A and B are shown apart, each in its own frame.
Chain A
Amino acid sequence: AQSVTQPDIHITVSEGASLELRCNYSYGATPYLFWYVQSPGQGLQLLLKYFSGDTLVQGIKGFEAEFKRSQSSFNLRKPSVHWSDAAEYFCAVGDRIDYKLSFGAGTTVTVRA
């Protein structure tokens, strides 16, 4: 079965600084990979997804992620964070055989002025 690890529980970053959130997965083949963001009181919103092709994926709100097969990673990046990026971020992997998503435990991002 697939699994997802997000090593960082909490990250604090200054507004305007760059952000990188780590995600490692365990899966026997090339997985479907996703990043979701959850703001307080809100549902999860899809930031970006990787199915195949170019390993650098662009998403909404200026986010991007890079799939690295050799490292089993799918790290999320943003060059310059805004205060509105404060939220919880979840990495998820989807099985290519079935439809189920497995989520990491999440990384909480705090943005300081």
Chain B
Amino acid sequence: GAGVSQSPSNKVTEKGKDVELRCDPISGHTALYWYRQRLGQGLEFLIYFQGNSAPDKSGLPSDRFSAERTGESVSTLTIQRTQQEDSAVYLCASSQLAGAGFDTQYFGPGTRLTVL
């Protein structure tokens, strides 16, 4: 596709339920990032995938959060047993290169998660 896409655009769930958020990166981009944006705050890094290397999960806030990516394609971010403090916009970004230096990260429109 032309850009990074994310689905769903909005998700409302009840406390305690599991949710899955999806990210489709730009074709050919080897690096994929997940960020969380709480209301009125900047973006917090969550997790990073680069090719087939082990992901960097250092930003995940708890073991309720996990993410997967198959090769250089779609990634899913899963939040188990959601809590109200998980309410935020979850942004995905991809870039062509990483590690050897910075390359522009292209962001998707985000998924707005509301936990009731």
Contacts and interface: CB of A to CB of B under 8 A. Distances in A.
Interface of A: 4, 32, 36, 41-46, 49, 51, 90, 92, 94, 98-106
Contacts of B44: 103
B contacts with A: majority SS: loop
Given A94-B102, A99-B102, A105-B40, A44 B45 contact: no
Contact of B102 (A32, A36, A43, A44): A32
Contact of B104 (A49, A102, A104): A49
A106 B107 CA distance: 16
Interface of B: 3-4, 31, 35, 40-45, 48, 50, 56, 59, 91, 93, 98-99, 101-102, 104-110
B42 A4 contact: yes
A36 to B, nearest CB: 8
Nearest to B9: A41
26 contacts: A32-B102, A43-B4, A43-B91, A43-B106, A43-B107, A43-B108, A43-B109, A44-B93, A44-B107, A46-B104, A90-B42, A90-B43, A92-B42, A92-B43, A99-B31, A99-B99, A99-B102, A100-B45, A100-B48, A100-B59, A101-B45, A103-B35, A104-B42, A105-B41, A105-B42, A106-B42
